[in-house]
Structure 1
Amino acid sequence: MADENKPLSRKSSNAKDVINNNNENGAAEGEGGGEVTLKAKMSLVNGCTVIIGSIIGSGIFVSPTGVLKYTGSVNMALIVWITSGLFSMVGAYCYSELGTMIKKSGADYAYIMTTFGPFLAFIRLWIECMIVRPCSQAIVALTFSVYVLKPFFPECDPPNDAARMLAVCCILLLTFVNCYSVKWATAVQDTFTYAKLIALFIIIAFGVYLLSMGNVQYFNFDDTKTEVTSLALSFYSGLFAYNGWNYLNFIIEELKDPVKNLPRAIAISCTLVTVVYVLTNISFYTILSPIEVLGSEAVAVTFANKAFRSFAFFIPIFVAMSTFGAVNGILLTSSRLFYAGACEGQMPEILTMIQIQRLTPTPAVLAISFLSMAYLCVSDIYALINYVGFATWLSIGASVLCLPWLRYTQPNLVRPIKVNLFWPILYLLATIFVTVVPMYASPLETGYGCLMILTSVPVYFLFIAWKNKPKSFQNAMGALTQKLQKMLMVVRGKSQQ
């Protein structure tokens, strides 16, 4: 009975029959073939668009008020934007060593697993997979739907149910794309990344024009806040806008020549995003006062209404395109995190499977999509993502800690890129500042976040650490996995055999 319910492998006769039948029917050229594994299909340009498209979502268009709220002045806000960009670039530089040394999909999860073992790695995996990523995707999809519907409801907010249904459609469409072809997914990412950059370049160009006309009245240090807690919270808001610089590391197995292309993609993308973010903020303040920025729910739209007047309608269109691309970037990279966790035995085995024709991690893509759509039913998913925001930066800090730790414990590991230890130490000190101080300033949110982290502990000991589960449970899981395999036409990839 146990053998009959054992999941199909690439070598099993049933799996071979399914593969042969589908190959006879004609798998897509370049997608199918004899070897079932994730292929390295992504170029340097694709890598750059994954990072840029993942970082630039709705934040820079919709509400860059958090930094100004906690700094008090325009000049100090610009300094925080610049510093946040440099801070992210330091973290990305550290990740270039980790990514070329530990060439596994999963990024933070893979690094913590290698360095600190399965327990801490599972905590990172649980928070990221079960809460942070699906919540983030749900929020960005909702933002997309609101801006698509806005022209139909110019005098009021779009109906909540309509916005959620359109968000579901957005997620389902991109789920199909990511299940069908990695090339299609990267093409979507490329196209919508270019669209959002065009919108930002239009804003920047008009801002440069206004600067040349002498519109500099708001650039000063008036009303700057000097409290340490306010400064830390301003960096927290700024760093949130740069979140996504590590996303390419999650799919490194699908990047061509990662030793060369990973650090190049990180350097190009982080530099470009930092420059674009700072120049966009400068453009906003050439025409908008601090009071107008703080009072606006969509700063880019307020800017467009004052600057472009009758042509202001194009900004909501570009915001929708930007968020659509961001949903695709989250889906593309998050599915690989599910896949990496399953390959380590910390997620259901079905998530290790690859579609035999399309060579995509279809079950993992479906898992993140279903979770995201489930979170669309939650009344306040924005509060939920805020509760675990600090856990994200703690996890990234733990990943950077892997670098000096591995230098000490495993000095003989091959390191194609070797970062000076000054940079990870600097990053760790800054991480302590931007996490500990907000914990003191917002103890309620921190408490909820800690409770969410602690939910991973019983799950780990019940489903991961406990190896001798009852035969009935193992047989039931094996039968379910096999049925899902046949339904989705997936088998374990070569690397999992």
Structure 2
Amino acid sequence: MSSLEKNGNVNGEAKGLYSSNGQLDSTDGKAEMKKSVGLFSGTALIVGTMIGSGIFISPKGVLEGTGSVGFSLIIWVACGLLSMLGALAYAELGTCVPRSGGEHAYLMYTFGSGTRRIGTVVAFLFDWVGLFILRPIMFSVMTLSLGTYVVKPFFPTCTEPPMYIVKLCTVLAMLILGAINVFSVKMATYLQNVTTITKLVALAIITIGGIYKICSGETEYIASGFEDTREDLSLISIAFYNGLWAYDGWNNLNFITEELKEPEKNLPRSILIGIPLTTLAYLLANVGYFAVMSKEEILLSHAVAVTWSTYMLGVMSWLMPVFVVLSCIGSANGCLFATGRLCFAAARDNHFPKVLSFIQVTRFTPMAAIVFTVIVSMITLIPGDLSTLIDFYSFCIWVGYGATMVALLVLRYKEPTLHRPYKVPIFIPIFVFIMSIYLTVSPIVQTGRITFFYAVLFIFSGLFVYFPFIYYNLKVPYLDRGYRFIQILFQLVPPHTS
């Protein structure tokens, strides 16, 4: 018998944890995650998740779609502006509905929480796609980039290192990050803070190197301006998609609202600091690249920052791969941190097994949710090519963003007197909603790829899970015994609800 089962009291925070039938219970006490994320850590979560491997490895996607230096810089700024507007709309929702879980919480609150209401269906479908596709893919891509950069130096003569070794290193990275997030919220936020600083330092080095070249009079590449700008709208939309992928993660702070100190102040402040900082960093980094490398070199490079470092840093060029690895660690850590909270919130509202909402009683972390996220992410590594999954991701995520903008507009109509510590002009959610329609319909019309048909099928396949297990509450035999065993083994307790 564990010490938890003997005493029913750990550090005075959880009392009467076992009910008369021997199951863990927190009705007589309090077990909840602590408000340990302040303004700096919140900003670091936004910046650290958005700035991942993309800006260091392959910013060429935007250049391929635009064809020119000048237009590609405009696209980078436009993507930052759209992300900013979306995040400001999310800030209003996060301050008037101060619950963790991001879109899940807002859809549930707006459209109803009863099992016979449309809000539960919409929120469940978002959870279904988010926890089995969107968030695991995001985490997998980030850690796969990390694995690739760790393995690459050991195979200097290979164009690409063996994929099975890369994936083994990726799995190891997932396990380490999972352990950190299970062990301590403070440790996870500290890691996020440190890696955010290092990636900003890396972007500053690239920027300063480019400015030095420009000041030295070497402006041949960047002076090409709008030369060779493409006029094909389909290619421009692809450039926009690539840019938005680099900015994704701007909504991560909304997933941990309950752990944010003074969310009514720190949520909008973190957004207003973090996203403009990231936009400026991306813009200046691209100036740094274009000042040193030709468009042809950027398009041919598999790792633009590393190629740049061989031109500018000489014997110290090894620094850039180290920075890229640290950047991947930071973005993957931020993604896992936020995804665990989405899983926690979905399970708390009975959309997933209740045990996934339980909190580790001594660590005050959503251990079960984090472990579940890591396992699903490992499964997404099985396909040999993640590019199709990334297309799937981009399509589905903008469906979710659009639905959330609708939730904000409906709340403005249904509850005009709702306390809103932060409120955005009404044109912002309308504009973001229109853009979400464009970004979901445009790739289907322009490419006709069947990937997007599969995405729609997967979204609605969630109904085959929702109706039997959520609507009709069908029970799987002996499953409760397994959940009870997990509770006792890992010392998990239900979350406190006020």
Question: TM-score over 0.5 for the alignment?
Answer: yes
Deviations 1:123-178 (A, max 9, x none): 11111110111122122111111111222222213222221111111111111111
CA distance in 2: counterparts of 1:291 and 1:77, whole angstroms? 14
**1:478 aligned partner:** 480
Q: TM-score, normalised by structure 2?
A: 0.91
Greater RCO between the two (CA within 8 Å, min separation 6)? Answer: 1
The structural deviation recorded for 1:285 is 0.4
Deviations 1:248-291 (A, max 9, x none): 00001000000010000011000100000000011100011111
Matched, 1:390 2:379: no
Matched, 1:373 2:373: no
After superposition, residues 183-198 of structure 1 pair within 5 angstroms as 183-198=186-201
The structural deviation recorded for 1:405 is 1.4
CA distance in 2: counterparts of 1:225 and 1:381, whole angstroms? 27
**1:343 aligned partner:** 348
Determine if contact 1:145/1:164 at 8 Å carries over to the other structure. yes
Structure-2 change in CA distance of 1:14 and 1:184 (3 Å)? closer
**1:325 aligned partner:** 330
Determine if contact 2:88/2:268 at 8 Å carries over to the other structure. yes
- Partner of 1:286: helix, strand, or coil? helix
- Partner of 2:292: helix, strand, or coil? coil
Q: What letter is aligned with 2:147?
A: S
The structural deviation recorded for 1:447 is 1.5
**1:109 aligned partner:** 104
Q: What letter is aligned with 1:401?
A: V
After superposition, residues 334-483 of structure 1 pair within 5 angstroms as 334-444=339-449, 445-467=451-473, 469=474, 473=476, 476-483=478-485
Matched, 1:267 2:262: no
Deviations 1:326-367 (A, max 9, x none): 111111000000000001110111111001111111000100
**2:25 aligned partner:** none
Identical amino acids, percent of aligned pairs: 39
CA distance in 2: counterparts of 1:388 and 1:243, whole angstroms? 11
**1:46 aligned partner:** 41
Q: TM-score, normalised by structure 1?
A: 0.91
Matched, 1:60 2:55: yes
Determine if contact 1:41/1:254 at 8 Å carries over to the other structure. yes
The structural deviation recorded for 1:23 is 7.1
- Partner of 1:388: helix, strand, or coil? helix
* RMSD between superposed Cα atoms in Å: 1.9
CA distance in 2: counterparts of 1:49 and 1:109, whole angstroms? 23
Q: What letter is aligned with 1:478?
A: D
Aligned residues: 472
Determine if contact 1:178/1:365 at 8 Å carries over to the other structure. yes
**2:9 aligned partner:** 20
Determine if contact 2:137/2:393 at 8 Å carries over to the other structure. no
**Match for residue 203 of structure 1 among 200, 206, 218:** 206
The structural deviation recorded for 1:416 is 0.8
Determine if contact 1:232/1:433 at 8 Å carries over to the other structure. no
Q: What letter is aligned with 1:361?
A: P
The structural deviation recorded for 1:419 is 1.0
Unaligned regions of 5+ residues in structure 2, if any? 14-28, 112-118
Matched, 1:93 2:88: yes
Determine if contact 1:91/1:424 at 8 Å carries over to the other structure. yes
- Partner of 2:32: helix, strand, or coil? coil
CA distance in 1: counterparts of 2:353 and 2:77, whole angstroms? 42
CA distance in 2: counterparts of 1:280 and 1:290, whole angstroms? 14
- Partner of 1:144: helix, strand, or coil? helix
CA distance in 2: counterparts of 1:260 and 1:150, whole angstroms? 43
**2:18 aligned partner:** none
CA distance in 1: counterparts of 2:71 and 2:443, whole angstroms? 19
Determine if contact 1:41/1:256 at 8 Å carries over to the other structure. yes
After superposition, residues 138-157 of structure 1 pair within 5 angstroms as 138-156=140-158, 157=160
Determine if contact 1:403/1:424 at 8 Å carries over to the other structure. yes
Q: What letter is aligned with 1:483?
A: F
